[in-house]
Structure 1
Amino acid sequence: MSEIRKPAVAGMFYPGNPEKLQEQISALFRKVGAPDGKGIGDAPGGAGDMQRSAGAPFQGGAATPAQGNAGVVQENVGDMQRSADAPFQRNVAEPAQDSGNTLQGIIAPHAGYMYSGLTASYAYKPLAEKKFTKVIILSPSHREYFGGISIYDGDAWETPLGKVNLAKAVADKMIKGGAPALMKSKAGHRDEHGVEVHLPFLQHIYGNDFEFVPVVMGDQTVINAEALTRALLEVMDDDTLVVASSDLSHFYTKDAANELDSVFARRVVQYDAEGLQNDLAVGKTEACGAGLVIAMMKAMKRAGVRNSKLLHRSDSGDVSGDYSSVVGYLSASFYN
């Protein structure tokens, strides 16, 4: 009997009705590159998520509870070490055109579609130009803490758009390459939105004609990130897309968030995983999925992927109008 992971956040982070879900993604894709592009949608999903810092030197912020709306929690950033550089360009209002047949990986946010869906769409819309048969989605664990890195132990995941089968052979190779940190487990997957919210974008483009590997990183240590890099190198090829799922800073004022998130964006553009790791360690920037982003960037570079590009940046205040407490979002691509 097949073991299928049912949707946990349909109707919250994105519409639970399949027709409305397809309509919302189509509308988001139409806004890619538009000068007035703002987050849109009717799903009431959260602007951000919980930042987990236990055992995770990549993260600069303290753990905060999951919030359904922006503007609920504020943190004092007065003592945080800041970058001396000027803020990096915040909005990149142009569609990605560098992907073609050379795209290998993307960074995309995982908040509710009404908040981060537009930024995610800048990463996903270009996938129509290239058919990937396998997708690896990397997510932090927001709902439960566990040591190591968990690959879902089951047969398929389901969303309102149907079922997507797991790429079990790919998962087995990853576990072999990343042992002992990587394991097959349900840990981190039961209610995790950081993987789930990406599937409808992929299904909108490819239908259910692809396989995927859901990976949740529990303890974002340097050692585990290196294990994840090794695991990715075992399976990366032209038919496989790697998705790093991460939001940026959480619950700062818009100006403070822009300063923190600009550091992250600059390191992505510079393709500098080591520099990003150092900035995170001293609190110059933050991201809930920092460890897995670093792991992917290192794997891309070691595999010979030559280029990175910032596609779009935004924050929850662009939609809510509340600039006192925002969550930052970024999308980027890695390609030859």
Structure 2
Amino acid sequence: MFMKTREPVVSGTFYAGTPGELRGQIEWCYKHELGPGVVPQVNNKGLREIVVLVVPHAGYIYSGPVAAHAYKELAEDGVVDTAVVLGPNHSGYGSPVSLWLGGAWETPLGKVRINEELAHSLLGGVIEADERAHIYEHSIEVQLPWLQYLYGELKLVPIAMLAQDIETAREVGKAISRCGDNIIVIASSDFTHYEPHSVATEKDKSMIETITNLDEEELYKRRELLNCFKDSLIVTLAFSDLIAIGI
């Protein structure tokens, strides 16, 4: 049985704990010298060409300005109906691929309803309905205020990844590629923790090249360059590759 509402677990730590402070913090990230420098406006007439975002999941004070670049691009791309958010399972609880199936997730900015029809359509194979992986996990939760700030109301399909093999990642990517809704797939993934800028830049360059080439085999080989999380990126590459060839 799934809880009706998942309450936030990192509100007040990873991001501000009140609506006003949280909105202000998000705007600070957008305007930061390492951010895009401007608070975006959603393009209501956008063509929605972006299918995948890769976004960090550290505390906003650390990675928020970097995340702001991704969400600025999404805002300018158009209006999103549903976000399928893939995050690492840091706790180790739950199934190898854990899907939260119903109800809503809450942040200081309100509740985000689960797209239950879409979530149920993804069940099967390696994807299991299992809330245990999500109860203490922050990697998906921290993406929600960004989406709420831009769109107000949208729906969510949260998937926590414990498995780290390429076959599982490809199966999840294939399942998501069959979704017909206006979705954005978000890979919640930190590339770097506590490394010199020059080292991080070199790693980022290598990983970005692999990602833009849609080469999940090479990404899997280079997975040790990433802090967290490898499989969510491979899922999105598999998904993007299938979308690109029209499957």
Which of the five TM-score ranges fits, normalised by the shorter chain? 0.7 to 0.9
Q: CA RMSD in A?
A: 2.6
SS in 2 for 1:193: coil
Which residue pairs with 2:188 in the alignment? 245
Which residue pairs with 1:295 in the alignment? 235
- On the 8 A contact 2:169/2:238 being kept in 1, the answer is no
1:146 positional shift: 4.2
Unpaired runs of at least 5, structure 2: 41-45
Give the Cα separation in 2 of the matches to 1:157 and 1:7.
7
Which residue pairs with 2:59 in the alignment? 112
Give the Cα separation in 1 of the matches to 2:62 and 2:166.
30
Q: 1:278 to 1:148 in 2, by over 3 A?
A: same
Give the Cα separation in 2 of the matches to 1:159 and 1:190.
14
Task: Select the residue among 205, 224, 233 that pairs with 2:177.
Answer: 233
Task: Select the residue among 129, 133, 137 that pairs with 1:188.
Answer: 133
Q: Give the number of the structure whose alpha-carbon radius of gyration is greater.
A: 1
- For residue 134 of structure 1, what is the amino acid of its counterpart? T
Give the Cα separation in 2 of the matches to 1:266 and 1:242.
19
Unpaired runs of at least 5, structure 1: 32-36, 40-91, 307-336
Which residue pairs with 2:43 in the alignment? none
- On the 8 A contact 1:100/1:126 being kept in 2, the answer is no
- On the 8 A contact 2:84/2:185 being kept in 1, the answer is yes
Give the Cα separation in 2 of the matches to 1:255 and 1:124.
25
Give the Cα separation in 2 of the matches to 1:192 and 1:140.
8
| Aligned length in residues | 239
- For residue 187 of structure 1, what is the amino acid of its counterpart? R
Deviation string 1:215-262 (CA, Å, 9 cap, x unpaired) is: 10012222221221122112154x111111000133444444433333
Note the 1:164-243 alignment, pairs <5 A.
Answer: 164-175=112-123, 179-207=124-152, 209-237=153-181, 239-243=182-186
Q: Quote the sequence identity (%).
A: 31
133-142 or 120-129, which deviates more: 120-129
Relative contact order (alpha carbons < 8 A, sep ≥ 6): 1 or 2 greater? 1
Alignment of 1:28 with 2:29, yes or no, is yes
Q: TM-score scaled to structure 1, two decimals?
A: 0.65
Q: TM-score scaled to structure 2, two decimals?
A: 0.87
Give the Cα separation in 1 of the matches to 2:150 and 2:56.
18
Which residue pairs with 2:84 in the alignment? 136
Give the Cα separation in 2 of the matches to 1:125 and 1:236.
24
